């Protein structure tokens, strides 16, 4: 099987098709697979996010990229001297990938001297090709291979490991203290105490304060809460403010999040997302940090749910605050004709392996808790994940509504005022154009598998499965978006039912007639991923198995 890939990125599908024919005629695709990525999006950030996601998907299928041919001007089409440089930003993002592959820019703007000069001097581009030359008869196999060889020689130069940035020689001032919490201590030790304290002192050069533990998300960054008394410009020298600090050693990814937060100013009201302390990354050695202001009494939605708010109060919070934010952030819909599962919801290789590993463990570790019917379900899920069953799911074809998503919409990324009167949203690192149901489906599954029965030790109590099962009455054909009473259950279940009902009504406010099959695909995706998370209990994973079975039956009614 061919596992080497040549990737071409352009906003012109006709050119991508011609390029494939040209490369095939040259014989360079005999042992390589060609991937033409059509750059999509209304803005440069949209285009960049779309292309990076496509390349990430290719890498996730274990391909080795041998060359990326990248259009430099993607947004603009008519100017003699275009200002757009989206291609250069994509090249910069690709520079952080573990695989090292040459990136060659392409352009038709031969007379734009500034553009050609910029591209030829860009550190992330190993060459530039003019499109008319690619389409010319002089563009032979020999010429192509020479260009690739020269580009690869440049990548070998930058493969030489760069020494780790030295730590600043300035001594630490000891202006910050740590909460006595072993979880915080563990997180700080992973970064390094000198590096962590140095970051804090660089981030708040005129501040002093305390640091507390905050449960990290899944993005790979470290997050903390801090109370800082600062004398920086615009603040009272005696006033203490609360901040969320995010630290990472991946400069590119953290900078992406920073830039998306800056871009939010042109899209949504400033009071629904936390304000940046600085609009630049703060470095210290190999680490980088950013900080967002928190409301004095802000807690995560997960913490808010722990306090057991009344069902109506929580439902109003969703309908009056959460859904309006999504509407504002999403912007105008962009239609995209596609196979829904393959385009938006297919599992990457790592998640597939995680699901299959859990299914194997389930047969070995919890056989007494699984019925014979559950055993058949495990096999059915495994067959679906490996692509040997459920063709109806793979074949769902629709003109999909896509929006600018939050991208990681769960209960730890929503901050709620103590009285529930205000919400603020954090962590836009994965914000990108995508299927409009995706954010809400993720929050729905988060509510079931993380929030429901979150207090005490109920999530590890096998006897609670019977009560949890009552939530399945929400999953009936042709009734997904109709408010329904749930028979059985208790206040814990009813609180989640109220949340889910409000979320689904929110979908109806985005689209008068949401497609049930598309929403089931989104729920199936996130329910499968629950099986891969180490911090979800076995009991909740058994619940996930049963919900997945229900969804598979709804999507494939001919199967029992």
Q: Do domains 4-158 and 176-294 have the same CATH topology?
A: no
**CA 133 vs CA 17, 22, 136: distances in Å:** 16, 12, 5
- Please give the pLDDT value at position 543: 94
| Mean pLDDT, residues 489-501 taken together | 89
Tally the C-alpha atoms within 13 A of residue 21's C-alpha that lie toward its C-beta.
8
Tokens in use for 344? 């938006």
Burial of 41 (0-12, 13-18, 19+ CB in 10 A): buried
* Model confidence at 216: pLDDT above 70: no
Alpha carbon distance 286, 302 (integer Å) = 32
Tokens in use for 210? 């305390």
Of 106-120, 269-283, 329-343, 412-426, minimum mean pLDDT range: 106-120
* Model confidence at 448: pLDDT above 90: yes
- Please give the pLDDT value at position 127: 87
- Please give the pLDDT value at position 119: 76
- The whole-model pTM stands at 0.67
- Please give the pLDDT value at position 332: 86
Question: In degrees rounded to 5, what are phi and psi of residue 230?
Answer: -125, 155
Alpha carbon distance 382, 238 (integer Å) = 59
Is-contact 108 78, C-beta < 8 A?
Answer: no
Indicate the pLDDT class of residue 73, thresholds 50, 70 and 90.
Answer: confident
Indicate the pLDDT class of residue 9, thresholds 50, 70 and 90.
Answer: very high
Tokens in use for 137? 């008869």
Alpha carbon distance 518, 497 (integer Å) = 20
Alpha carbon distance 93, 84 (integer Å) = 16
The 10s digit of each residue's pLDDT in 302-358 is 989 988 888 899 889 999 999 998 988 888 888 889 999 999 999 998 899 999 999
- Please give the pLDDT value at position 525: 97
Q: Is the dihedral of CA 480, 484, 489, 492 positive or negative?
A: positive
Alpha carbon distance 358, 355 (integer Å) = 5
Domain ranges of the chain: 4-158, 176-294, 300-335+397-555
Task: Say which residues have a Cβ less than 8 Å from residue 383's Cβ, sequence separation at least 6.
Answer: 389, 390
Q: Position of tokens 């906003």?
A: 11
- Please give the pLDDT value at position 234: 53
* Model confidence at 109: pLDDT above 90: no
Alpha carbon distance 54, 41 (integer Å) = 13
The 10s digit of each residue's pLDDT in 180-215 is 999 899 999 989 999 999 999 999 988 889 999 877
Neighbours of 30 (CB within 10 A): 8
| Mean pLDDT, residues 152-162 taken together | 60
Question: In degrees rounded to 5, what are phi and psi of residue 123?
Answer: -70, -20
At the topology level, CATH places domain 176-294 in: Phosphorylase Kinase; domain 1 (3.30.200)
What percent of the chain has a predicted confidence (pLDDT) above 70?
A: 89
Alpha carbon distance 273, 406 (integer Å) = 11
Is-contact 39 50, C-beta < 8 A?
Answer: yes
Taking each helix axis from N to C end, the angle separating 438-446 and 516-530, rounded to the nearest 10 degrees, works out to: 50
- Please give the pLDDT value at position 430: 80
| Mean pLDDT, residues 513-540 taken together | 93
* Model confidence at 504: pLDDT above 90: yes
Neighbours of 227 (CB within 10 A): 16
SS3 sequence, 275-321?
A: CECCCCCEEECCEEEEEEEECCCCEEHHHHHHCCCCHHHHHHHHHHH
What percent of the chain has a predicted confidence (pLDDT) above 90?
A: 32
Alpha carbon distance 15, 23 (integer Å) = 12
Alpha carbon distance 543, 531 (integer Å) = 10
Question: In degrees rounded to 5, what are phi and psi of residue 210?
Answer: -120, 155
The 10s digit of each residue's pLDDT in 234-278 is 555 567 888 889 998 888 778 888 888 887 777 777 777 778 888
At the topology level, CATH places domain 4-158 in: Rossmann fold (3.40.50)
Alpha carbon distance 477, 515 (integer Å) = 11
> What is the Cα 177 distance to its own chain's centre?
32
Alpha carbon distance 109, 111 (integer Å) = 6
Alpha carbon distance 73, 84 (integer Å) = 5
The 10s digit of each residue's pLDDT in 360-416 is 888 776 666 676 667 788 999 999 999 888 888 988 999 999 998 998 999 988 888
Helix (H) or strand (E) holding 433: strand 433-435
* Model confidence at 43: pLDDT above 90: no
Taking each helix axis from N to C end, the angle separating 182-191 and 193-203, rounded to the nearest 10 degrees, works out to: 90
- Please give the pLDDT value at position 200: 93
Mean pLDDT (the chain) is 85
| Mean pLDDT, residues 523-550 taken together | 93
To the nearest 10°, report the CA torsion of 205, 211, 213, 218: 0
Indicate the pLDDT class of residue 62, thresholds 50, 70 and 90.
Answer: confident
For residues 221 and 499, the model is more confident at 499
- Please give the pLDDT value at position 155: 62
* Model confidence at 465: pLDDT above 50: yes
Indicate the pLDDT class of residue 296, thresholds 50, 70 and 90.
Answer: low
Indicate the pLDDT class of residue 558, thresholds 50, 70 and 90.
Answer: low
* Model confidence at 560: pLDDT above 50: no
Tokens in use for 6? 């040549």
Highest mean pLDDT among 116-130, 345-359, 452-466: 345-359
* Model confidence at 503: pLDDT above 70: yes
Question: In degrees rounded to 5, what are phi and psi of residue 180?
Answer: -80, 85
Is-contact 389 417, C-beta < 8 A?
Answer: no
Burial of 33 (0-12, 13-18, 19+ CB in 10 A): middle
* Model confidence at 157: pLDDT above 80: no
SS3 sequence, 21-81?
A: HHHHHHCCCCCCEEEEEECCCCCHHHHHHHHHHHHHHHHHCCCEEEEEEEECCCCCCCCCC
Alpha carbon distance 201, 172 (integer Å) = 8
**Residues in a beta bridge with 400:** 336
């Amino acid at each position: 099987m061919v596992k080497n890939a040549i990737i071409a990125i352009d906003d012109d599908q006709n050119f991508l098709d011609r390029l494939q024919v040209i490369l095939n005629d040259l014989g360079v695709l005999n042992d390589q697979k060609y991937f033409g990525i059509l750059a999509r999006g209304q803005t440069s950030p949209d285009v960049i996010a779309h292309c990076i996601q496509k390349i990430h998907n290719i890498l996730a299928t274990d391909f080795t990229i041998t060359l990326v041919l990248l259009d430099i001007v993607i947004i603009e089409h008519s100017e003699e001297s275009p200002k757009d440089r989206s291609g250069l930003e994509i090249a910069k993002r690709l520079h952080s990938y573990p695989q090292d592959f040459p990136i060659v820019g392409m352009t038709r703007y031969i007379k734009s001297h500034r553009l050609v000069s910029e591209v030829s001097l860009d550190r992330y581009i190993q060459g530039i090709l003019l499109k008319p030359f690619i389409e010319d008869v002089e563009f032979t196999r020999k010429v192509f291979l020479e260009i690739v060889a020269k580009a690869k020689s440049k990548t070998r130069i930058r493969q030489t490991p760069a020494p780790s940035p030295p730590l600043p020689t300035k001594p630490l001032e000891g202006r910050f203290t740590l909460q006595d919490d072993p979880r915080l201590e563990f997180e700080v030790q992973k970064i390094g105490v000198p590096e962590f304290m140095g970051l804090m002192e660089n981030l708040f050069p005129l501040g002093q304060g305390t640091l507390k533990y905050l449960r990290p998300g899944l993005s790979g960054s470290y997050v903390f809460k801090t109370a800082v008394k600062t004398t920086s410009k615009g603040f009272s020298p005696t006033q203490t403010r609360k901040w969320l600090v995010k630290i990472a050693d991946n400069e590119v990814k953290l900078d992406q999040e920073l830039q998306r937060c800056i871009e939010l100013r042109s899209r949504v009201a400033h009071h629904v997302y936390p304000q940046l302390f600085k609009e630049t990354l703060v470095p210290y050695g190999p680490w980088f940090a950013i900080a967002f202001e928190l409301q004095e009494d802000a807690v995560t939605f997960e913490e808010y749910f722990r306090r057991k708010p009344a069902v109506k109060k929580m439902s109003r919070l969703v309908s009056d605050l959460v859904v309006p934010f999504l509407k504002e952030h999403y912007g105008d819909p962009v239609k995209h004709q596609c196979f829904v599962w393959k385009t938006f919801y297919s599992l990457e290789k790592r998640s597939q392996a995680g699901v299959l590993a859990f299914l194997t463990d389930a047969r070995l570790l919890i056989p007494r808790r699984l019925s014979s019917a559950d055993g058949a379900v495990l096999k059915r899920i495994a067959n679906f994940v490996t692509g040997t069953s459920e063709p109806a799911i793979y074949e769902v074809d629709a003109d999909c509504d896509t929006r600018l998503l939050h991208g990681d919409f769960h209960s730890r990324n929503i901050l709620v005022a103590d009285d529930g009167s205000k919400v603020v949203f954090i962590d836009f690192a994965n914000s990108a154009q995508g299927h409009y149901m995706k954010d809400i489906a993720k929050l729905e599954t988060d509510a079931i598998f993380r929030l429901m029965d979150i207090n005490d030790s109920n999530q590890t109590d096998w006897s609670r499965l019977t009560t949890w099962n009552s939530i399945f009455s929400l999953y009936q054909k042709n009734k997904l978006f109709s408010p329904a009473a749930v028979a059985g259950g208790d206040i814990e279940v009813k609180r989640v039912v109220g949340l889910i009902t409000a979320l689904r009504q929110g979908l109806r406010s985005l689209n008068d007639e949401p497609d049930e099959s598309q929403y089931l695909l989104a729920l199936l995706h996130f329910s499968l991923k629950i099986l891969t998370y180490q911090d979800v209990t076995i009991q909740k994973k058994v619940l996930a198995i049963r919900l997945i079975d229900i969804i598979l039956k709804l999507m494939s009614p001919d199967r029992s």
